[in-house]
Amino acid sequence: MSSIIARRRRPAAGYAAVAGGLVVAGVLYGTLSGGGASAASNQSNTDIAQGKSLFNASCSSCHGLGAQGTAQAPSLIGAGAAAVDFQMSTGRMPAKESGAENDRKPTDFTQQQIYDISGYIQSLGGGPTIPDSSQVSTNGANTALGYELFSTNCSQCHGFAGAGGALTYGKNAPSLNAATPTQIYEAMLTGPEAMPVFGDGTVTPAEKKDIIAYVIDTRNEANPGGFSLGRTGTITEGAVAWLGGLGFLVVIAMWLTAKRRDPVIGMPDSDHGDAQ
Amino acid sequence: MSETHDPSAGNPLEGLAPHHEAEEPPARRRVIGTPSPTPAAVDNRVAAPEESPDYLPTDPSDIVSAKNAERVAALCFLVAFAAGVCFLIAYIGLEVGPYNSGNSVIAALRSNYALGSSLGLALLALGTGSMIWVRHLTPNIEIEEHRHVLKSEPEDRAAFKKDFSTGAAITGITKRPLLRRTMLLATAPLALAPLWLLRDLGPLPGTSLRHTVWKAGTRAVTLGGLRPLTPADMGTAGSMITVIPEGYQDDDDALAKAGVIIIKFAPGELHVPTIFDGKTQLYGMNWTVDSTIVAYSKICTHVGCPVALYEQTTHHILCPCHQSTFDASNGANVVFGPAARALPQLPLGTNAEGYLVALSDFTQPVGPSFWERG
Amino acid sequence: MSDEPVKIPPALDGVGGWIDDRFHLAGGARVLMKKVFPDHWSFMLGEIALWSFVILLLTGTYLAMFFVPSAAPVVYHGSYSKLDGITMSQAYQSTLNISFDIRGGLLVRQIHHWAADLFMVAIMAHMLRVFFTGAYRKPREINWLIGIVLFTLGMLEGLFGYSLPDDQLSGAGLRIFEGVLQGIPIVGTYLAFFLFGGAFPGTSIIPRMYIIHVLLIPGLILGLITAHLFIMFHQKHTQMPMKGNTEKNVVGQPFWPYFMLKGQAWFFFIFGALVVLATFAQINPVWLYGPYTPLAISSASQPDWYMGLLEGALRIMPSWEINFLGHTLTLSVLIPFAVPLGLIFTGAALWPFFEQWATGDRSEHHINDRPRNAPVRTGVGVAAMSFYGILWAEGANDVFADKLSIPLYTITWIARVAVFVIPIGAYFVTKRVCLGLQRKDAELLSHGVEIGIIHQLPNGEFIEESRPLTEEERAVVASKVVPNALPQPATLDANGIPAPASKGLMGRARVIANRAFIETVEEAPGHGNGHHDGHAVGEAEHAAVTTGDTEEH
């Protein structure tokens, strides 16, 4: 301790103090902040009554007290726990405003609360249930088949590498980089917003696992050719060719042809007998 | 006298007159960025050396700065050498593919970065060294060359014409129409021959563009899983899946026209109009299953991309290539974009086992329009 | 004469003598060595294309050792394990092989593709430079036409080149290509079936594209580049308007050794830039796209940048099809395919001759124009660029919609209006800007350059000192050459007969065009050069815009 005190007037002491304060603040924030999934949440602990009161507090103003729907929001009867878990864990619901679509944002609910609300909605009218961990695990998945299924059913909206894409009227298919395996499964199963439904009859649970494995593998895969430029394809490549390639070379050309500082030695006419 | 305009010196107007300043040295205060009063590179030309005026001087003007420049260029070349050696070592030392024991993507990444940065550095260093060489180690010579008159002398032109005409007269081609005409006749088929030989490049289209491999009773199977579907498999409203005719999963030529998307609607949402072209039905609710399941061609009628961006909220099918948009609830008619025709509807029904099957082939050609389409 | 500055080694001397004994080269080689190449950075753009082409040949040869141009299906069991078990063409498999199993393979593949993009970029930049400086004028019209053909060949070469790996993205492009071919009236289906050897996709297209890509088109390009360079060599390069540069000379540094050394430096920089791009910027990651299947497609599917104009044209077009007598004329496809490129290339090809016709100028031009001194040409060039640019941007409309959160159809509607309105507006705005710059030049010539030293007069007025232009500056600023006015229809000669060339529809059109071309700004009369006489700068001293006959400067 005394050695620290002895160094308190050194120039670096100020930086050290600020850095230390930041570290302490960060650790405290990380430990104390709630929200998002917490380790203790568990589907089997679903408390439907709690879910109902949470629903009434946060969701019923748009979805109605019995989840029957209002002019602002559709009925959730029959939507299923999977739909609720997807919408709430990605933060899309509760929607802050009604617009073309809702984008992913941080959620204010803990995972346990989301399970409770999903359980409540499931109890109202049934619907697709939240997949368990074995259903979304990528162990033993056939990634190659996942590639075939993804490229046929998913890449037209989400892009060949899941970078997202445009839809009509201001909507877009989001990037898949932030989605958890469970969320990917649930999205396929429930078809949120404009996304079509890929139920278990059309895309079996095993096929869903394959697709998830493909998505996870692809987004974790390194880019061996350099920076990926967003994995959007030729648009960014063309921009780099013009701005990076030509831009750099034009600067070099200007350097190469710039006026020299040493004096110019003007030679007399150098032609030897050429026709004038 | 009045040139040093020091604002701190008494009366700012003292000694002031609008003046013609051409020969004065620059004043001390000047707005940054404006041209200097005496331009920097006024004539810094020097005369050519007296001895051997026909041949260029060989030494740069400033020997000292040339020596420094030489050192810099030499350093660049040494860097290029080192980078080049790194390239050779990296090639040998970094394995890829089957000889690499780890992740092949990471191996390719490492190898690419190592080889590319060493090679790139070597080339840029060579370029920089060469640039310094030519700009700082050579005399700054400027020579002038005269442009030839491009047009030939009239005598030369006349002589050429006479020579050419004499040669033509010798062949007699102008005086012997029989010879001329039969020669042209002889070359005509031979000139056509190369085009003739192209005939077997491919088969004639015939009527093949009018049909696909779908027939009455062909089961629709999912692409990838190759599973036949029952109406119940289609699940809830808003469901969509790509299907192909059973048995053709390896036939790309067939798939390029036979791909189909099946969409499930909520009851009452699907209103395919009944459209006939003469006696041929093109669209109808009788081609749907349970009035909620409909099948459309997946091949865009614009230029043939797979069109499968289905938005279940708007019931629009959007083609990502050129944004042709089709309304699936209304017979896939065009609502935006360059496509001129609705997506053809595949007559859909169920067979004895309850699987979704085609009732017949498409009744109109699928895919992009063509001249003979009708 | 053996007073050489450096001693030539006897071996080299011997070889040189042996060759000269057989080819009579010494005199010609001397002329070649002393040949002058004028210096300006914008003259180096064409060389970027040249060296990129050389690099394409070198890297392409390397790739050809490993690439298999076959559509035969094969099940993949290679290093890229994510696609293990997938059926793909041998072309695609060999491309994966090059990328993941050959050391340096991925680097060479990426250098090749970046060089192709840069080749087209350089051609376009070079073409724009030549256009805006008027370097296509007599005697260089043929070189201009060769350049347009080279650009077209480059587009085709790139299209076939990136389609060879048979991946999902380029396969979709081929599908579009086939759909467009199919729509051509009368011969379309035959063309499509002959090119593809049957229905799409077939198995013939890959080997056919291969031979077109590695032999036919490179041969044509090589021949045309040789002709292009030879013509430029023979006619000598143009030069920028500078002191000492006239229509009858070329000023610069001699070929040996300056141009050789600079060419060496330039080649290394271009190659180095391409290698740096290939190292740090991933291009065409075919393993992420996957092998081509006819029923898969990705959002944000665009071809390489130089095909973007066609892509945008296809997207901007509203639906339009005419059915008659059992035939279909699909204008939705034919208009985008033929009209924008046709307009631009035909317009570009005809432009030198149109300009000659409108200005009556049949003299040789070896001094480049400053763009501001040719307002109609510059205006038309900017209009053409904006037309090209809007269609090019429309080709990326879904990426803009996604990244900038603009509704998709809105972008297309804006483009549909802009593609007509903006080029017209751009022409007028550019022309006015050019004339404004000419006015500034006229003031520079008459008033000199302001040097930033400000005086205050006794009456309170502020004036700025100026100095006269130096000879070098004057040579540049005064380099404007105004075309002659052609006789107007109303002018009659001494016998009351109107000029024959101005009669009729073509004559009248010619006069209208001529009137636009000769619009210029005259140097303000009545001022001495460079001396500021003390009157306020605020007085109206703007040079008048005139359209009358002016002397050639």
What is the tens place of the pLDDT at every residue in A118-175?
Answer: 999 999 988 899 999 889 998 889 999 999 999 999 999 999 999 999 999 888 899 9
B residues 151-190 closer than 8 Å to C (CB)? none
Give the least confident one: A14-18, B13-17, B128-132, C258-262: B13-17
Q: Give per-residue burial for A142-164: e unless 16+ CB within 10 Å, then b.
A: bbbbbbbbbbbbbbbbbbbbbbb
Tokens of residue B245, six digits: 């005719």
Candidates B288, B278, B289, B374; CA nearest to B331 is B288
Cβ contacts below 8 Å, chain B against chain C, sum to: 344
Contact check, Cβ <8 Å, B224/A274: no
3-class DSSP assignment, residue B219: strand
Q: What are the pLDDT digits (tens) for C467-489? A: 888 888 888 998 888 887 877 76
Q: Residue A2: its pLDDT value, please?
A: 74
Tokens of residue B334, six digits: 């065009």
The matching CATH number, chosen from 1.10.40.30, 1.25.40.10, 3.30.420.40, 1.20.810.10, for C35-239+257-292+310-368 is 1.20.810.10
Q: Residue C425: its pLDDT value, please?
A: 97
**Res A45 pLDDT > 90:** no
Most B CBs within 10 Å, among A249, A265, A274, to test the B interface: A265
Residues of B in contact with A223 (CB under 8 A): 109
Contact check, Cβ <8 Å, C453/B29: yes
Beta-strand pair B356-358/B275-277: unpaired
**Res C143 pLDDT > 60:** yes
Measure Cα distances from C3 to C8, C198, C335 in Å.
Answer: 11, 72, 69
Residue span(s) of chain A under CATH 1.10.760.10 come to 35-129, 131-222
Contact check, Cβ <8 Å, C179/B367: yes
Q: What are the pLDDT digits (tens) for A170-201? A: 888 999 999 999 999 999 999 998 999 999 99
Question: Using CB atoms, which residue from A148, A196, A265 is nearest to B239?
Answer: A196
**Angle between helical axes of C408-447 and C397-404 (0-180°, round to 10):** 100
Cα dihedral: A175, A178, A179, A181 (round 10): 130
Q: Residue B228: its pLDDT value, please?
A: 96
Q: Residue C479: its pLDDT value, please?
A: 87
What is the rounded distance in angstroms from the CA atom of residue B129 to the CA atom of residue B137?
11
Q: Residue B78: its pLDDT value, please?
A: 98
3-class DSSP assignment, residue B293: strand
Q: How many other CB atoms are there within 10 angstroms of residue C322's CB atom?
A: 10
User: Considering the domain A35-129, what is its CATH architecture?
Assistant: Orthogonal Bundle (1.10)
**Res C33 pLDDT > 80:** yes
Tokens of residue B164, six digits: 């050419």
The separation between CA C358 and the C-alpha centre of its own chain, rounded to angstroms, equals 24
Domain B211-373 CATH class label: mainly beta
**pLDDT under 70 in chain B at which residues?**
1-54, 100-101
Q: What is the CA radius of gyration of chain C?
A: 29
Q: What are the pLDDT digits (tens) for C350-368? A: 999 999 999 988 899 999 9
User: Residues B339, B300: contact at Cβ < 8 Å?
Assistant: yes
3-class DSSP assignment, residue A175: coil
Q: Residue C483: its pLDDT value, please?
A: 82
What is the rounded distance in angstroms from the CA atom of residue B303 to the CA atom of residue B338?
9
Contact check, Cβ <8 Å, C330/B259: no
Q: What is the CA radius of gyration of chain A?
A: 29
Tokens of residue A168, six digits: 């009509």
Residue B117 forms contact with C (CB below 8 Å): yes
Determine the average pLDDT of the residues in C528-540: 43
Residues of A in contact with B233 (CB under 8 A): 199, 201-202
Q: What are the pLDDT digits (tens) for B33-68? A: 666 655 554 556 666 655 545 677 888 888 888 899
Beta-strand pair B293-297/C520-521: unpaired
Determine the average pLDDT of the residues in C29-35: 86
Residues of B in contact with A167 (CB under 8 A): 309, 311, 318
Contact check, Cβ <8 Å, A226/C110: yes
Residues of A in contact with C78 (CB under 8 A): none
Domain ranges of chain C: 35-239+257-292+310-368, 429-546
A residues 189-218 closer than 8 Å to C (CB)? 214, 217-218
Chain A: closest CA distance from residue B232 (Å): 7
B residues 185-244 closer than 8 Å to C (CB)? 198, 201-205, 208-209, 223, 242, 244
Residue C82 forms contact with A (CB below 8 Å): yes
Q: What are the pLDDT digits (tens) for A58-104? A: 888 889 998 888 888 888 998 999 999 999 999 998 887 776 678 88
ipTM: 0.89
Contact check, Cβ <8 Å, B311/A167: yes
3-class DSSP assignment, residue A214: helix
**Averaged pLDDT score across all residues of chain C:** 90
Q: Residue C451: its pLDDT value, please?
A: 86
3-class DSSP assignment, residue A16: helix
Question: What is the chain A residue with the closest CA to B66?
Answer: A262
Q: What are the pLDDT digits (tens) for C186-235? A: 999 999 999 999 999 999 999 999 999 999 999 999 999 999 999 999 99
Residue A163 forms contact with C (CB below 8 Å): yes
Is the peptide bond prior to C139 cis by the omega test (within 30 degrees of 0)?
yes
Q: Residue A71: its pLDDT value, please?
A: 86
Determine the average pLDDT of the residues in C309-319: 96
Q: Residue B253: its pLDDT value, please?
A: 95
Question: What is the chain C residue with the closest CA to A161?
Answer: C288
A residues 48-87 closer than 8 Å to C (CB)? none
Question: Using CB atoms, which residue from C321, C366, C451 is nearest to B369?
Answer: C321
Q: Residue A42: its pLDDT value, please?
A: 62
Question: In sequence order, what are the residues at sequence separation of 6 or more whose Cβ sits closer than 8 angstroms to the Cβ of residue B23?
Answer: none
User: Residues C280, A237: contact at Cβ < 8 Å?
Assistant: no
Most B CBs within 10 Å, among C7, C66, C107, to test the B interface: C107
Residues of A in contact with B294 (CB under 8 A): none
User: Residues C250, B145: contact at Cβ < 8 Å?
Assistant: yes
Candidates B77, B71, B70; CA nearest to B123 is B77
Candidates C222, C101, C116; CA nearest to C170 is C116
Beta-strand pair C327-329/B240-245: unpaired
Q: Residue A275: its pLDDT value, please?
A: 37
Confidence of residue C15 (pLDDT cuts 50, 70, 90): very high
**Res C42 pLDDT > 90:** yes
Chain C: closest CA distance from residue B284 (Å): 22
What is the rounded distance in angstroms from the CA atom of residue A68 to the CA atom of residue C132?
68
Q: Residue A9: its pLDDT value, please?
A: 80
Residue B234 forms contact with A (CB below 8 Å): yes
Q: Residue C547: its pLDDT value, please?
A: 45
Q: Residue B33: its pLDDT value, please?
A: 65
**Res C504 pLDDT > 90:** no
What is the rounded distance in angstroms from the CA atom of residue C150 to the CA atom of residue C163?
20
- One-letter-per-residue 3-state SS of B55-122: CCCCCCCCHHHHHHHHHHHHHHHHHHHHHHHHHHHHHHHCCCHHHCCCCHHHHHHHHHHHHHHHHHHH
What is the rounded distance in angstroms from the CA atom of residue C230 to the CA atom of residue C258?
19
Q: What are the pLDDT digits (tens) for B317-345? A: 999 999 999 999 999 999 999 999 999 99
**Res A262 pLDDT > 90:** no
Tokens of residue B136, six digits: 């700082």
Residue B372 forms contact with C (CB below 8 Å): yes
Tokens of residue B102, six digits: 């780890």
Residue C281 forms contact with A (CB below 8 Å): yes
Q: What is the CA radius of gyration of chain B?
A: 41
Residues of C in contact with A270 (CB under 8 A): 34, 36, 254
**Res A35 pLDDT > 60:** no
CA contacts within 13 A on the Cβ side of C337: 19
Superfamily of domain A131-222: Cytochrome c-like domain (1.10.760.10)
Q: How many other CB atoms are there within 10 angstroms of residue C476's CB atom?
A: 17
Chain B: closest CA distance from residue C512 (Å): 31
- Reported for A151-154, long-range contacts at CB under 8 A and 24+ positions apart, including other chains, are A151/C168, A151/C290, A151/C293, A151/C296, A151/C298, A152/B223, A152/B224, A152/B242, A152/B308, A152/C293, A152/C295, A152/C296, A153/A198, A153/A203, A153/A211, A153/B241, A153/B242, A153/B308, A154/A211
Confidence of residue C538 (pLDDT cuts 50, 70, 90): very low
What is the rounded distance in angstroms from the CA atom of residue C13 to the CA atom of residue B280?
87
Residues of B in contact with A268 (CB under 8 A): 48, 53, 144
Q: Residue A266: its pLDDT value, please?
A: 80
Tokens of residue B143, six digits: 């020579």
Candidates A102, A98, B315, A167; CA nearest to C401 is A167
Residues of B in contact with A225 (CB under 8 A): 109, 112
Confidence of residue A269 (pLDDT cuts 50, 70, 90): low
Domain ranges of chain B: 63-136, 211-373
Q: Give per-residue burial for B227-246: e unless 16+ CB within 10 Å, then b.
A: bbbebebbbbbbbbbbbbbb
What is the rounded distance in angstroms from the CA atom of residue C349 to the CA atom of residue C338?
16
Chain A: closest CA distance from residue B246 (Å): 15
pLDDT higher at C94 or C518: C94
Question: Using CB atoms, which residue from B21, B58, B372 is nearest to C465?
Answer: B21
What is the rounded distance in angstroms from the CA atom of residue B105 to the CA atom of residue B97?
9
Residue C404 forms contact with A (CB below 8 Å): no
Residue A90 DSSP one-character state: T
